[in-house]
Structure 1
């Protein structure tokens, strides 16, 4: 067995397998949801839905940092119902002000995304609160090593979204699909809470570590903006039919990043543990290959069979998007390398986590200048990707290639990487 194979088996043994399977099912469910809704709605309505769904994800991306902080809290102090109750209450209170701000800005969002009514913008507010609480609950469970319970929340959420979203989209259109998405988060919370209530911890500590939340939030938000700004701007600049084609193409392309994201969650603790050790370069290379390999393979399938993929998922009305989906799939595959290197910088607590933010600013500037067609927007996205990736390879890769400092703390050989990560985070 090769070194990479042993590492992948090790990741599965540590509990990554249930999460990877759940994320794979979630990705398939997301594609099925978009496929069905894309067939039920006209091009303009589907373009509007895609823009709002992307805005939902953008609003909740920093919650990955919240999940990490909650996991670290439990890993250090244990999990009791009191810890869970106070954490979820605190997160709810934290999420209410931004949710109210989103609700206040609903008319502006309606106009910017050319939505048909306020009912298509308002669901962003309750989704923000629900997703925040679910993220915290998942973090608490991960800190308590209840990986299967976390995987179950993803599976139940996926089933609920398909059932409720598709049932509501027929009578209520875009607003119904968005309502189903909000309700799917509540279904995930119903699965998580009983497992929190039954946990027994050690000290019942109740404070989240805001410094860790903020630092991780900068990294994950920058990555999301870098990989999704093009879709949001496409909806704003393109006509209804063109934006619908772009959303469909981007949905297919960006799905190749879903499974690597799940694997990244298992690789990141190993990067944390390997940072101060002589094997740090090998850890980055093997972990990076485990993450980028599925992305490159998925993109290769899309690039080789774009017509078939589009026809199966969305039907004949998206046949003209073949070139677009190929370009966006290529961009998504290369973006996975930026994801790995950004997490490597996060493991070192380096300021290089800001590089994707610079890339996102460049991407927005290019698209605001050239946005005459979907192809132009995709090329602008690729033009921003190239210097961003090169900068991360040169700056971050060079630091991992160096030998660790003599006074660096080296984790014991038998240390649990997942617990080390939680504590360090």
Structure 2
């Protein structure tokens, strides 16, 4: 076995495999869901649904920081039912004001996304509340090494979304599909709660602090905005048919990032442990290969056969989206490198976690300037990616390779307590 192979085997043995499998199943379910609704809805309706689903994920991406913070809390202090109860209650209270704000802004969102019903945007509020509590519950379980239960929450959530979504979409259209997405989060929480209650016999008690969430929230929110702003702006600027094509191509491309995001759950704590040691360079290289490898391979497979992928998923509705699929998959593959380097900056609590925010601002500015077609929006997204990736490589990468460790130095193992799978992974 090579050194890299041994490290990847360790990651699998310490919890990466169940999460990676669960995220892979969820990604497949996500594609199946989009394939089904994309065939049943006309391109304009599908473009609207895709935009709202992406907005749902964008609202909850900062809550991915809750998952990481809750996981670290339990890894350090242990898990009790009182700790779980306090954490979930605090998260629900923190999420209530943003949910109310989203509800009040529902008419504005309806107008921005050109939606036919207020119910389609109003459902963002309960989704935000449910997804926040689920993220915290998953983090608590991950900190207690209960990766199997966390994987089950993804399996159940995917099954509920598929079954209920298809059942409700026929009578209720877009609103039914969105209601199923909300219900899938509730189902995941029902799977997690019994295992959290099973810790009632333990005695130590602690609670999650809002300040512990803020730093991780900056990183994951910037990454998601950087990788998804193009889809939201495409719905606003393009016509119904063109926005449907862009959503279809972007959904395929974002799926390329789903499995690497799951693997990042096991890589991130290793980066945390490795940063103060001489083995940090090898930790970054091996962890980076584990995360970016699947993204590059997945993108290459789709780029080679874009027409076949579109035909299998959407039939013949989007025959002219081949170029968009190729371009956006290439962008997604390179974005995985930005993801690794941003988590490396997060591991050493560096201000460089703000670089994806700068990239997102650049991307939005370029798209607002050139948005006459889907191809122009994709090109603007790629143009913003290049300087962002170069900046992270030059500024963050050199921090990790400045002192090359001796050949015999190994990286200490760390508990697989952090999880990054919700931001990005389950796009739409």
Question: TM bucket by the smaller chain?
Answer: over 0.9
Greater shift, 7-16 or 203-212, is seen at 203-212
Q: 1:418 aligns with which of 410, 415, 419?
A: 415
- TM-score, scaled relative to structure 1: 0.95
| Alignment CA distance shift 1:200-1:8 (3 Å) | farther
Q: Which 5+ residue runs of structure 2 have no aligned equivalent? A: 420-428
- Counterpart for residue 6 of structure 2: 6
TM-superposed CA distance for 1:15, in Å, is 1.3
**Counterpart secondary structure, 1:417:** coil
* Paired positions, count: 416
SS in 1 for 2:246: helix
For the pair 1:315 / 2:315, whether they are aligned, the reply is: yes
Could you say which residue in structure 2 is the equivalent of 1:399? 399
Aligned equivalents of 1:170, 1:417: Cα separation in 2:
48
Cα distance in structure 2, aligned partners of 1:371 and 1:414: 47
Equivalent pair of 1:73/1:205 in contact (CA under 8 Å): no
Partner of 2:243 in structure 1? 243
**Secondary structure of the corresponding residue to residue 117 of structure 1:** coil
Aligned-residue offset at 1:205: 2.2
The answer to whether the 8 A contact 1:43-1:244 is kept is: yes
Match of residue 67 from structure 1: 67
For the residues of structure 1 that align with 2:86 and 2:417, how far apart are their CA atoms? Answer: 24
Q: CA deviation at 1:416?
A: 4.5
1:163 aligns with: 163
CA distance in 2, matches of 1:414, 1:38: 46
* 2:204 corresponds to: 204
Which structure 1 residue ranges, 5 or more long, are not aligned? 406-411
- In the alignment, structure 1 residue 34 sits paired with structure 2 residue 38: no
| Displacement after TM superposition at 1:75 (Å) | 1.6
Q: Tell me how far 1:413 sits from its aligned partner.
A: 7.5
SS in 2 for 1:320: coil
List aligned pairs for 1:58-97, cutoff 5 A: 58-97=58-97
Aligned to 1:137: 137
Higher RCO, Cα 8 Å, sep 6+: 2
- CA–CA distance in 1 between the matches of 2:206 and 2:283? 33
In structure 2, relative to structure 1, the CA distance for the partners of 1:16 and 1:201 (3 Å cut) is farther
RMSD (Å) for aligned C-alpha atoms: 1.6
Q: 1-side partners of 2:349 and 2:297: how far apart?
A: 30
Secondary structure of the equivalent of 1:371? coil
Does the 8 Å contact 2:274/2:412 carry over to 1? no
Q: Do the aligned partners of 1:270 and 1:417 also contact (CA within 8 Å) in 2?
A: yes
Asked whether the equivalents of residues 275 and 347 of structure 2 are also in contact (C-alpha less than 8 Å), the reply is yes
* 1:94-133 matched pairs, under 5 angstroms: 94-133=94-133
Could you list the per-position Cα deviations for residues 319-356 of structure 1 after superposition, in whole angstroms to 9, with x for gaps in the alignment?
11001110000000000000000000000100000000
2:424 aligned partner: none
Superposed CA offset, 1:230-257 (max 9, x none):
0000000000000000000000011000
Give the Å deviation of 1:419.
6.3
State the partner residue of 2:382. 382
**More moved, 58-67 vs 71-80:** 71-80
